Structure 1
Amino acid sequence: MPSVAHTSTNGVNGAAPAPKGAKPNIAIYTSAAHELYQKEIPYPEIGPDECLVHVRCTGICASDVHFWRSGCIGDMVVRKDMILGHESAGEVLAVGEHVTTIKPGDRVAIEPGVPCAACKHCVGGRYNLCPEVKFAATPPTDGTLRRYLAHPAQYLFPIPDNMTYAQAALVEPFSVALASVDKCNPRVGQPVYVAGAGPVGLATALCVRAAGASPILVSDLEESRLEQARQLGFKTLKVDPKMGRDDLAREIRAAMGERCTPEIVFECTGAQSSIQSAIYAVEDGGNILQVGCSKPEVELPLAAMAFREVNIVTTLRYHSTWEKMVRLLGDKFFGDVDHLVTHTFPLERAEDAFKLWLDRSANAIKVQIVDES
């Protein structure tokens, strides 16, 4: 992997003259005091290996909300004001002098992590583990939820003419799903349970089905999300939050069907109760892929796991998925994914978008923020 210049990846430190006809460069921030606010920032100055991108669409991820509301995810703590957002797509306005693979006018999906390209993980191909990675909207790196962004050309992926910016912004959550599925290589006909019918959970179920797994059961607390899962052709289970782990595990096995105890579980909620239930629901010797963000400390029944050789496998983001996922979504490989986007807000109303994300009665799945002009 060639080296990447880091001169202005965040796009805030360097300033440049405004592009012709440009609007104010609005960005959406959170702070250590759990504030959420909009601020005008300088236009980014691009380095020789970078492109200036007009960000046209950004999806709100649960991690954005965690950093806003809780101020941390595990050991990653918001200590200073930080721009949110990492699920983005946009239009290239200008390119640096060394850029030959991207040209002005290209429409691109933005891979939000920029690794060092020199450590053993990067050289070995697992650049998602790079200790020096600058990942958008992960402290202390600013995110992509702004109008104009400087970003290395190496991590911009042109999208086909038939792909919308909204679909291109879904490449990121679908990459999370693909990376988790690649971790366990499900076989044709292998029973799989997916806990959580949010965007990543539904994307995971689609990837698992594409790999040949069957049957696939998707669970959630929200009926509206389960309806989306049913529209996609999956078996569903509505979880009663009052149900204990053992009872829920029995419900999961019953819903999967006779002789179809799940051999792989994709836990996409991060909730301790869901993780524990998955441990008791999975087949002996089975694997649980922990995809959802959990609290820093989670209690696990390790003795019960050891007696049944149940394995928990963790997964961090993705690597080498973007070109493939742009192609798959562009080819409609997973069918119509547009209905995963349930709410859209203009950039100037980004704060309203975050507030709606928190409103369970809104039945939101994927909320996106767009800048169409």
Structure 2
Amino acid sequence: MTLSNGNGHSNENVDPALLRRPNIALWVTKDHKIYQKQEAFPDCPPDSCVIHVKATGICGSEIHFWKHGRIGDCCVTHDIILGHESAGQVVAVGANVRNLSIGDRVSIEPGVACWECDMCIRGRYNLCPNVVFSGTPPSDGTMRRFVAHPARFLHRIPDEMSYALGALVEPLSVGYNAVLRAKIYLGMPVVIAGAGPIGLAAALSARAAGASPILITDLEESKLAQAAVFGFAGLAVSTEWDRKDTAARIRQAMGCAPQLVLECTGSPASINSACYALEDGGTLLQVGCGKPDVELPLMSMGFREINVITSFRYQQSWPVVIRLIQAGVFGDVGAMITHTLPLERAIDAFETCVDRSARAIKVQIVDE
């Protein structure tokens, strides 16, 4: 197989032996099974590049697709390849691509918008109705050795940035977008509900924006211990508490009523507790995914003018988040990665995610 840059000149940055390796991919089925099988080396369309995927994080959404077959109205109806938190190296470049070369190190922005609809024209391309999002039904994802992806959604990462950190740009972008939607300001008291990867990403972005104090809540002490590594105060909530009790304990732990809750779990109990914990006129910003329908205490919220905002994925975040990681604004974000397994053990990586005794925060699948 001959690889070339868009200008037709070959590049020797890629070991030919690499290209002979099997293109192993991780699949999920509509009947809640995951399996691996080999795929053909991908074609390289004119406006795309082929990437050797070096690191891919496992997201909670992928666990939902595996265990429940759906998130909201998005259902697994046929076998698809999972994966959307990835970084890797360019190994082939399409004929029309001029801004990337073979050997470039890139982070993959997984949502490919159409750039023709009203939402795209208005700049809100995360709401593009025609978006092709990696690893979300019906589209195949990046959890494989080689993948073709449009060059417009590939972003160079610095030489000193690891591929593992390049793969963290995606979850950090979720937190970054939530903070932009919330319009956090210096000194705003904020609660982060959920100490998983998205909760930590939201907390890191909120702190960078000036929020204070910040309290993270979770059911699991091990996750709060991980949050403490980043310097965040935590409150272990109990399923035995009702929503008003949980709200009172949140306020007590903070020393004030939060003006904002970034809800990153999708749990109905957590969402309801957040509504009661907020100060009058406060804002619930929903980030986490959960059941399609959630009951809210609308009368209580209405009497207190509680605002509800949602945040969906991200837009124009990759260059900023890469810069923030490189500058150390988030601190040692690599500490989010608790487990790393090779591509050949991708199924074991998924099992680790659902094994509570493993105390996993972010599990990544890597390939050398």
- TM more than 0.5: yes
Equivalent runs, 1:341-360 vs 2, <5 Å:
341-360=337-356
- Aligned residue number for residue 98 of structure 1: 96
**Pick aligned residue for 2:358 from 344, 357, 362:** 362
Mapped partners of 1:35, 1:199: distance in 2? 24
Per-residue CA distance 1:100-123 (angstroms, 9 max, x = gap): 111100010000010111000001
- Aligned residue number for residue 230 of structure 2: 232
Equivalent runs, 1:235-254 vs 2, <5 Å:
235-254=233-252
- Aligned residue number for residue 298 of structure 2: 302
- Could you list the runs of 5+ residues in structure 1 that have no partner in the other structure? 1-17
Shift in CA distance, 92/298, structure 1 to aligned 2, threshold 3 Å:
same
Mapped partners of 1:286, 1:48: distance in 2? 49
Shift in CA distance, 256/20, structure 1 to aligned 2, threshold 3 Å:
closer
Mapped partners of 1:22, 1:263: distance in 2? 55
1:124 aligns with 2:117: no
Mapped partners of 1:261, 1:121: distance in 2? 36
Per-residue CA distance 1:193-242 (angstroms, 9 max, x = gap): 00000111011111101111100001111111111211211111011121
SS at match of 1:169: helix
Shift in CA distance, 45/21, structure 1 to aligned 2, threshold 3 Å:
closer
Amino acid at match of 1:319: Q
SS at match of 1:102: coil
Mapped partners of 2:154, 2:107: distance in 1? 6
Mapped partners of 1:292, 1:21: distance in 2? 38
Displacement after TM superposition at 1:22 (Å):
2.5
Amino acid at match of 2:96: H
Displacement after TM superposition at 1:77 (Å):
0.6
- Aligned residue number for residue 70 of structure 2: 72
SS at match of 2:186: coil
TM-score by length of 2: 0.95
- Aligned residue number for residue 40 of structure 2: 42
**Contact 1:159/1:330 (CA < 8 Å) preserved in 2?**
no
TM-score by length of 1: 0.93
Displacement after TM superposition at 1:332 (Å):
1.6
**Contact 1:126/1:319 (CA < 8 Å) preserved in 2?**
yes
**Pick aligned residue for 1:272 from 262, 268, 271:** 268
Amino acid at match of 2:359: N
Which sits farther off after the overlay, 233-242 or 283-292? 233-242
Which sits farther off after the overlay, 125-134 or 324-333? 324-333
CA RMSD, 1 decimal: 1.0
Amino acid at match of 2:259: E
Amino acid at match of 1:200: I
1:328 aligns with 2:321: no
- Aligned residue number for residue 154 of structure 1: 152
SS at match of 1:350: helix
Mapped partners of 1:71, 1:27: distance in 2? 19
- Aligned residue number for residue 188 of structure 2: 190
Mapped partners of 2:181, 2:54: distance in 1? 32
Displacement after TM superposition at 1:19 (Å):
7.7
- Could you list the runs of 5+ residues in structure 2 that have no partner in the other structure? 1-15
Mapped partners of 1:115, 1:144: distance in 2? 17
Per-residue CA distance 1:45-98 (angstroms, 9 max, x = gap): 011110010000000000001011100001001001000010000000110111
Structure 1 stretches of at least 4 aligned residues deviating more than 2 Å after TM superposition: 18-22
**Contact 1:108/1:156 (CA < 8 Å) preserved in 2?**
yes
Per-residue CA distance 1:3-43 (angstroms, 9 max, x = gap): xxxxxxxxxxxxxxx98643000000001111100011111
1:290 aligns with 2:286: yes
**Pick aligned residue for 2:173 from 172, 175, 183:** 175
**Pick aligned residue for 2:308 from 298, 305, 312:** 312
